Amino acid sequence: MIKNLKFRYIVVLIVAAISIYFVIPPKEKINLGLDLKGGMHLVLEVKTPKVVNAELLQAAERARRLFQENKVALESAQVKDGMVVLAGVPETASESARRLLKDYFTPTFDYNSSFESGKVTYRLSITPTAVREIERSTVQSARDTLERRIDAYGVAEPTIQLFGSSESGVSNQIIVELPGVENPEEVKTLLKETAALELKMVHPNAPFGASQDGIMQYFENKIPEGYEMVQFVGDYGEGKQTQERSYILVQSLPIISGKHLTNARPSQDNSLGLSKPAVSFTLNSEGARLFGDATEANIGRQIAIVLDEKAISAPQVQAKITDSGIITGIDSRREAELLALSLRSGALPADIVILEERTIGPSLGLESIQRGLNAGMLGLGLIILFMFVYYKLSGFNAVICLILNIIILFGALGYFRATLTLPGIAGIILTIGMAVDSNVLIFERIREELGLGKTITAAVEAGFARASWTIFDSNITTLIAAAFLYQFGTGPIRGFAVTLTAGLVANLFAAIFFSRALFDTLLKQVHVKKLSI
């Protein structure tokens, strides 16, 4: 126990001054949560089956190239019923084929074979462990991409966390809480847009902007190998000059994709004497080489800019282009800004759907704040009244300690830039009650000691000595519970845990250190003869 009262008061003043410094101005130091400020609460689901299927398609292409490089005959490599089917391997090459499959596809794939008409067919099925790993990495990548987009969009103190569970046991849902959002529809578009960018060569002879049937008829119902149809939504596409969906034929393999981008920013398309919104992008060294080679070899041909499996424009190559380019076919400046933001943040690895959406208006947030403040002031007033009525002048000691407790609590919230939620306000109110409870334990113990005939000084010393361990025990056990709430709880529950923890630590300092200093002042400086308790 520190005997020097002056030193103890200096410590208290320093702690109070630091706390006040950290909390002023409160509007800048303490952020309001979704339930107080208003905003959006979304539950998103990451659709992973497409990603698993893409892994199968890549495995089929990898097997085809592998067999070709090792001169193992193979009639076809395709994906059927969730498996990679390698058909038409001669029986004489079966041993070489098995060795290649074992060396390059285990342990990700299991395989079996069947024999028919002198040829062997291999079926590769992806293992459950590999599926779980693909799903886990996909969901985590989607969460990281969403976080980058939200940070770039400018939402303060968002909450983004994994939730739920898929059939394979992987958390495939993401909870997103965005306080203070003014344009919910724009944010939903930003979060759902995959922003998978690819630049692909357009077929030189196929009908441009035709229907699917028109393109199929042109090629006699057989699409050329290495090409695919994509919907065109540019100047002659959907919603522009015709109500029918339009398609173009592009190469399946892209020249470059979003992974080659280093930056994207809104700009203007000044071609043909017009000024339209656009997005300019720059490429890394690999992308610059690939783009330069492709544009140099295809001057006069069209390159389709494919975004999320839809061609938004198809400009003609006028000259060799290397490390930069421009995306046209954008309707508004704001659309260009959001597209540039999405491209900078990276493409989502899978489609995302909104399972649940809840929007809280600012007026509801203000009402929650007012009700929370009213509840806190009412509780504080009743506690102060009770302490003065029941413990007389000693209640003044408890009130001063309570004020210090609240100052330290808000100082801690300001220092950590904590987000205050409605459960957080409940935590503050609970802290007020627990702070007074500590004083009640001390006061009751002092009363018992006085009832045993001890002097005031001896009763105070015994009261603090014997009640302190009880206070420590109760606060430490509650701190452990708060730690578990913070570790396993969601945003609002974490807010409750943070305020409760800060309040408990402040309570230990105020109830034991500061309260004892006040009693020692009465006994050693004022020399009271009778304790009003």
User: What average pLDDT does this structure show over 159-177?
Assistant: 80
Tell me the per-residue pLDDT of 432-464, one tens digit each, with 9 for 90 and over: 888 888 888 888 888 888 888 888 888 888 888
Torsion sign across C-alpha atoms 385, 386, 387, 391 = positive
Q: Sheet with 83-90: list strands edge to edge.
A: 76-80, 83-90, 119-126, 109-116
* Helix locations, 154-209, DSSP H: 184-192
As a whole number of angstroms, the distance between CA 242 and CA 257 comes to: 29
Among 13-17, 57-61, 175-179, name the most confident range: 13-17
Q: Which of 210-219, 292-301, 365-374 has the lowest mean pLDDT?
A: 365-374
Q: Which of 115, 121, 135 minimizes the C-alpha distance to 48? A: 135
Q: What is the residue-wise DSSP string for 384-409?
A: HHHHHHHHTTHHHHHHHHHHHHHHHH
User: What average pLDDT does this structure show over 418-436?
Assistant: 82
As a whole number of angstroms, the distance between CA 148 and CA 157 comes to: 13
Q: Can you give the pLDDT at residue 215?
A: 92
SS3 of 307, please?
A: strand
Helices 128-153, 49-69: crossing angle, 10 deg rounding: 120
| Single pTM value for the model | 0.64
- Whether residue 466 has pLDDT greater than 60: yes
- Whether residue 322 has pLDDT greater than 50: yes
Q: Are 503 and 435 in contact (CB under 8 A)?
A: yes
DSSP state of 210: B
Degrees (nearest 5) of the Cα angle 223, 226, 231? 65
Degrees (nearest 5) of the Cα angle 378, 379, 383? 115
- Whether residue 470 has pLDDT greater than 50: yes
Please give the residue that has the higher pLDDT: either 453 or 35.
453
Considering the chain, what percentage of its residues have pLDDT values greater than 90? 15
Q: How confident is the model at residue 272 (pLDDT cuts 50, 70, 90)?
A: low
User: What average pLDDT does this structure show over 173-194?
Assistant: 84
Q: Can you give the pLDDT at residue 237?
A: 39
| 427: CB partners within 8 A, 6+ apart | 495, 496, 497, 498, 499, 500, 503
Q: Are 442 and 461 in contact (CB under 8 A)?
A: no
Token couple for 242: 């015709």
Q: Are 306 and 232 in contact (CB under 8 A)?
A: no
Considering the chain, what percentage of its residues have pLDDT values greater than 70? 94
For the chain, the straight-line distance linking the first and the last C-alpha, in angstroms and rounded, comes to: 23
Q: Which of 14-28, 109-123, 263-277 has the lowest mean pLDDT?
A: 263-277
Taking the C-alpha atoms of 378, 414, 19 and 478 in order, what is their torsion angle to the nearest 10 degrees? 60
265: which strand partners? 280
Q: Can you give the pLDDT at residue 250?
A: 94
Tell me the per-residue pLDDT of 218-263, one tens digit each, with 9 for 90 and over: 998 888 877 999 999 875 433 344 456 899 999 988 898 887 888 8
Token couple for 44: 């998103």
Tell me the per-residue pLDDT of 186-195, one tens digit each, with 9 for 90 and over: 888 888 877 7
Q: How confident is the model at residue 490 (pLDDT cuts 50, 70, 90)?
A: low
As a whole number of angstroms, the distance between CA 48 and CA 137 comes to: 10
Long-range contacts of 55-64 (CB under 8 A, 24+ apart): 55/126, 55/130, 55/134, 56/82, 56/83, 56/84, 56/126, 59/84, 59/105, 59/108, 59/109, 59/124, 59/126, 60/84, 60/86, 62/104, 63/100, 63/101, 63/104, 63/105, 63/124
Mean pLDDT of the chain: 84
User: What average pLDDT does this structure show over 327-338?
Assistant: 80
Distance set, CA 10 to CA 401, 461, 505, 516, 517 (Å):
15, 22, 19, 14, 11
- Whether residue 2 has pLDDT greater than 50: no
HSE of 169, CA atoms in CB hemisphere, 13 A: 6
> Is residue 118 exposed (0-12), middle (13-18) or buried (19+ Cβ within 10 Å)?
exposed
Q: Can you give the pLDDT at residue 125?
A: 93
Q: Can you give the pLDDT at residue 109?
A: 92
Residue 495 dihedral angles phi and psi, to the nearest 5°: -60, -40
Q: How confident is the model at residue 280 (pLDDT cuts 50, 70, 90)?
A: confident
